[in-house]
Amino acid sequence: MDLKQCKKTIDSGLNAGKFIIVIGKCVVKYEGRAASKLSEGDRALIIKKDGTFLVHQSKGMTAINYQGPGAAILTNFDSDNNKLSVSAVRKTKNSLPGNVREQIVVTFNTVNFADAFDLTDDKKLKVFGTEDELSNLLMQDLHLIEPGLLPVQQESPLAKGQIDILARDKNGAFVVIEVKRRQAELAAVSQLKRYVEEVSKKKNTTVRGILCAPSMSENAKKMLDNYNLEFYKLNYEISNPSAKIIGLEKKQKILGEY
User: Which of residues 46 and 158 has its CB atom nearest to a copy of itself in the complex?
Assistant: 46
Q: Looking at 143, 160, 170, 250, which residue binds DNA (CB under 7 A)?
A: 160
60 or 157: CB nearest a copy of itself:
60
User: Minimum Å distance from CB 120 to a copy of itself?
Assistant: 6
Question: Quick check: 34 binds DNA (CB under 7 A)?
Answer: yes
Q: Which residues contact 179 (CB under 8 A, 6 or more apart)?
A: 131, 134, 135, 138, 164, 165, 212, 213, 234
What is the C-alpha separation between 47 and 255, in angstroms, rounded? 57
The answer to whether 139 contacts DNA (rule: CB under 7 A) is no
The three-state secondary structure class of 7 is: helix
Strand partners, 21: 46, 115
Quote the CA–CA distance of 17 and 225 in Å, as a whole number: 56
Report helix, strand or coil for 138: helix
Window 181 to 220, contacts with DNA (CB under 7 A): 181-183, 185-187, 191, 194, 217-220
153 sits near DNA (criterion: CB under 7 A):
no
Q: What is the largest CA-CA distance in the chain?
A: 81
Minimal distance in Å, beta carbon 210 to a copy of itself?
A: 18
User: One symbol per residue from 37 to 66: x for binding DNA (CB under 7 A), - otherwise; what is it?
Assistant: -----------------------xxx--xx
Q: Does 107 bind DNA (CB under 7 A)?
A: no
Supply the minimum distance, in Å, between the C-beta of residue 238 and DNA: 9
Nearer of residues 79 and 162 to a copy of itself, judged by Cβ: 162
Residues 93 and 70 sit within 8 Å (Cβ to Cβ): no
Can you spell out the DSSP letters for 31-84?
Answer: ESSSEEEEEEEEEEEEE-TTS-EEEE-SS-SS-SEEE-TTPEEEEEEETTTTEE
What is the size of the binding site for DNA (CB under 7 A)? 40
Number of Cβ within a 10 Å radius of residue 216? 22
126 interface partner picked from DNA, a copy of itself, none, CB below 5 to 8 A per type: a copy of itself
- Interface with DNA (CB under 7 A): 30, 32-34, 36, 60-62, 65-69, 93-95, 102, 104, 125, 127, 129-132, 160, 162, 164, 178, 181-183, 185-187, 191, 194, 217-220
